[in-house]
């Protein structure tokens, strides 16, 4: 039952904040400058002044690289006063999704205080839109990592970990907060992601009749969770049927999970098996958790590409994207949480930090305050926070979609200069161009040139992967008589090796990104693509091939022109492994199955059993393959491509069909 006094007080505070934006923003800046004016960073610009106009005139707009030397000094033990008048209590470790490199952002109690207020407001808003929003339990896919110690002795960890371990999260919570979870705390702090995800989902299945909401920080994590469930539901049902947890769960969370698992429950196992055995997993979430009222995760920005697949899994359940925050500051809350994902905007809260905006396309010399943004225009966000970042370029591009009282509502459009993302990584146009340029040298050795290219984030199945569309041209007028498959495999390898550290981590270590794919298209395909964009209003004089395809219509242009060659890359100890969906013919069975080989002419020389992330599981040089205990069947093959035949089904097929 919601305490109306708490609710009314929260709503009154929200009205006050959004009705006095200019006054609150001026007061926030005054407070920050009064505290920080004599820090080493600001002193040379302000000379002790806390005047707003002096601040705007003298303090430059900066990026992380401008603040990094000062931050590193505090990390190494020098006083907080170098950058902040308030004591630095720790550092937030960023995910590295923006530029591919992790950063250390100074943290103090004001950040945690603001995070608490943002959570208060997001749950308050949900209480007004979803009846009984916090009844029952939540299946929350939360993964918290232990903090590391910096040389200064101050902790460094992710923002969620800092907040959820603090008193701001665990003490004096309003009655309208969502606090009941299917997962014991030990699961959230499990250092092994696979064990943690398994236990999250297993506990959620055992307590399925109590689950009223399913959540994760990002849409990609929910998609990853469902994909994981597809691979492990049989084992989970076995655990439920026997009342015994799998032996490979060895983390300290095992005891608390076993308590939830309880004794043998064959009836529940049968129910879950019947649901998961269906041919289609459309609407699988409301089937497994029938009392679910909404799904909560961020679906804006680079997460938007996961929405179609997520909607497939959730049917008509609302996707709630609750708030907008970063490692640098809290920004705003979604006051219309049940809106469509494409309509999500965040109402900025003026007391969180001091906000400024650079109009996109006008350069950093033109900067406007929060109250002066214009409806429909695009801006890059700049923040001055309470922990030493002054006029810091966050790197987010936003569009003004409306106002609530005098508070602007902004829609997240994209990260600055991010071209491609399928999970939590971010690949810039610069990264992509570097990789393709290097790969073009491989083509050059075969007298072939890359005429044009674009890319597409393939996320219709998990894990997502990069698809590069290449149009090739021979150095001779004769054209290209044949495309060497091994050459394209080398190109895949070179491109992947050129991408950022975060991509490589998620690709090879965490297996959250699948193998990069190159699709060679017919000559003239990119001319057709240009004609499509011109038909949509683009100017021929100003046309540039988009390096990342976003629209389904443009993608269809590429697909409809036909593909000459499709290759995908895996690897084993540095050896290239081809994945060619068209290389197997005369398949006998109910499904198409990719075969992964290291080709030598037309002969099949070696077979690798690989998971769907193209990571080699085992190596089989023999002519027969019999695997027991993990759900595979017997496979047999002949001496060449056309002789390949299939008996049974792969437990986890890789590649396109």
Chain segment 604-636, per-residue pLDDT in tens? 223 333 333 333 333 333 222 222 222 232 233
| Superfamily classification of domain 1-416 | ANL, N-terminal domain (3.40.50.12780)
Summarize the confidence of residues 383-402 as an average pLDDT: 95
pLDDT digits over 568-595, tens only? 654 333 333 333 333 333 323 222 233 3
- Residue 413 sits at φ, ψ, to 5 deg, of -100, -55
**Neighbour-count burial of 346, counting CB atoms closer than 10 A to its CB (0-12 exposed, 13-18 middle, 19+ buried):** buried
d(CA 379, CA 357): 6
H/E stretch holding 195 reads helix 193-206
pLDDT given at position 432: 85
| The pLDDT value given to residue 476 | 57
Highest mean pLDDT (candidates 52-66, 184-198, 252-266, 570-584): 52-66
Specify the 3-state DSSP secondary structure of 172: coil
Average pLDDT for 546-567: 80
Confidence at 537, pLDDT banded by 50, 70, 90 = low
- CA of residue 327 relative to chain centroid, distance: 15
Q: Which residues contact 405 (CB under 8 A, 6 or more apart)?
A: 15, 18, 19, 21
- pLDDT greater than 80 at residue 272: yes
CA distance linking residue 66 with residue 579, whole number of Å: 44
Q: Give every CB contact of residue 168 below 8 A, 6+ residues apart in sequence.
A: 112, 113, 115, 116
Mean pLDDT of the chain: 79
Which pLDDT does position 125 carry in this prediction? 92
User: Mean pLDDT, to the nearest integer, of 249-270?
Assistant: 91
Give the whole-number percent of the chain exceeding pLDDT 90: 42
Instruction: Please tell me the distance from the alpha carbon of residue 104 to that of residue 37, in angstroms, as a whole number.
Output: 22
Mean pLDDT confidence for 161-165: 83
SS (H, E, C) 359-379: ECCCCCCCCEEHHHCCCCCEE
Task: Check residue 618 and give its pLDDT.
Answer: 34
The half-sphere exposure of 243 on its side-chain side, counting CA atoms within 13 A, is: 7
Question: What share of the chain in percent tops pLDDT 70?
Answer: 79
The helix-helix angle for 219-242 and 307-314 (nearest 10°) equals 40
Quick one: pLDDT band at residue 302, thresholds 50, 70, 90? Answer: low
Under 8 Å between Cβ of 386 and 474: no
- Could you tell me the pLDDT band of residue 6, with boundaries at 50, 70 and 90? confident
Beta partners for residue 137, in sequence order: 211
How many whole angstroms separate alpha carbon 11 and alpha carbon 125? 9
In this prediction the pTM is 0.68
**Cβ atoms within 10 A of the Cβ of 221, count?**
21
Of 332-336, 366-370, 540-544, the least confident: 540-544
Contact 564, 520 (CB under 8 A): yes
Residue 271 has pLDDT above 50, yes or no: yes
CA Rg, the chain, in Å?
27
Q: Where are the beta strands (DSSP E) in 465-588?
A: 465-474, 517-521, 563-572, 575-579
pLDDT recorded at residue 481: 64
Per-residue pLDDT tens over the stretch 175-227: 666 678 899 888 888 888 788 889 999 999 999 999 999 999 888 788 878 88
Band (pLDDT 50/70/90 cuts) for residue 99 is very low
Dihedral sign for Cα atoms in the order 544, 549, 550, 555:
positive
**451 within 8 A of 212, measured Cβ to Cβ:** no
């Amino acid at each position: 039952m919601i305490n109306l006094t708490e609710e009314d007080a929260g709503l009154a505070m929200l009205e006050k904040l959004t009705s006095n934006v200019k006054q609150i923003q001026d007061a926030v800046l005054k407070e920050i400058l009064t505290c920080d004016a004599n820090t080493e960073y600001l002193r040379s610009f302000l000379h002790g002044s806390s005047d707003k106009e002096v601040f705007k005139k003298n303090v430059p707009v900066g990026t992380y690289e401008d603040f990094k030397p000062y931050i590193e000094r505090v990390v190494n033990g020098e006083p907080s006063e170098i950058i902040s008048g308030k004591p630095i209590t720790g550092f937030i470790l960023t995910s590295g999704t923006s530029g591919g490199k992790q950063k250390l952002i100074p943290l103090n109690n004001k950040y945690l205080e603001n995070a608490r207020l943002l959570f208060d407001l997001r749950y308050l808003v949900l209480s007004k839109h979803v009846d009984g929003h916090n009844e029952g339990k939540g299946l929350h896919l939360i993964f918290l990592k232990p903090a590391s110690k910096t040389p200064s002795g101050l902790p460094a960890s992710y923002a969620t970990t800092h907040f959820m371990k603090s008193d701001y999260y665990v003490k004096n919570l309003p009655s309208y907060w969502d606090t009941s979870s299917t997962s014991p705390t030990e699961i959230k702090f499990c250092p092994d992601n696979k064990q943690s995800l398994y236990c999250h989902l297993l506990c959620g299945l055992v307590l399925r009749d109590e689950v009223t909401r399913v959540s994760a920080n990002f849409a990609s994590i929910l998609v990853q969770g469902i994909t994981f469930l597809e691979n492990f539901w049989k084992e989970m049902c076995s655990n439920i049927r026997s009342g015994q947890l799998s032996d490979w769960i060895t983390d300290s969370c095992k005891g608390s999970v076993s308590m939830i698992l309880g004794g043998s429950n064959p009836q529940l196992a049968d129910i879950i098996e019947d649901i998961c055995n269906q041919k289609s997993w459309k609407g699988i979430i409301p089937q497994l958790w029938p009392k679910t009222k909404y799904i909560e995760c961020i679906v804006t920005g680079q997460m938007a590409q996961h929405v179609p697949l997520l909607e497939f899994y959730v049917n008509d359940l609302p996707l709630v994207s609750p708030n907008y925050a970063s490692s640098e500051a809290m920004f705003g809350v979604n006051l219309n949480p049940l809106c469509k994902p494409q309509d999500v905007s965040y109402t900025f809260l003026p007391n969180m930090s001091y906000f400024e905006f650079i109009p996109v396309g006008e350069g950093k010399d033109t900067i406007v305050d929060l109250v002066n943004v214009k409806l429909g225009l695009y801006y890059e966000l700049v923040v001055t926070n309470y922990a030493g970042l002054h006029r810091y370029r966050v790197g987010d591009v936003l569009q003004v979609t409306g106002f609530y009282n005098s508070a602007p509502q902004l829609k997240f459009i994209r990260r600055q200069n991010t071209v491609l993302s399928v999970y939590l990584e971010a690949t810039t146009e610069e990264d992509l161009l570097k990789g393709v340029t290097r790969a073009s040298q491989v083509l050059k050795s075969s007298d072939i040139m890359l005429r044009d290219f674009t890319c597409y984030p393939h996320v219709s199945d998990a894990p997502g992967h990069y698809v590069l569309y290449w149009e090739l041209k021979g150095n001779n007028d004769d054209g290209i008589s044949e495309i060497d498959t091994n050459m394209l495999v080398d190109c895949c390898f070179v491109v992947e090796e050129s991408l950022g550290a975060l991509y490589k981590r998620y690709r090879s270590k965490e297996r959250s990104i699948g193998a990069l794919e190159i699709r060679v298209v017919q000559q003239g395909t990119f001319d057709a693509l240009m004609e499509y964009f011109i038909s949509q209003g683009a100017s021929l004089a100003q046309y540039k091939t988009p390096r990342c395809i976003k629209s389904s219509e443009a993608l269809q242009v590429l697909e409809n022109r036909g593909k000459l060659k499709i290759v995908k890359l895996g690897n084993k100890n540095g050896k290239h492994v081809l994945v060619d969906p068209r290389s197997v013919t005369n398949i006998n069975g109910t499904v198409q199955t990719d075969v992964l080989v290291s080709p030598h002419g037309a002969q099949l020389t070696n077979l690798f059993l690989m998971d769907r992330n193209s990571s080699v599981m085992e190596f089989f040089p023999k002519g027969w393959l019999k695997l027991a205990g993990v759900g595979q069947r017997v496979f047999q093959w002949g001496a060449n491509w056309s002789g390949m035949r299939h008996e049974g089904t792969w437990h986890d097929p890789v590649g396109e069909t």
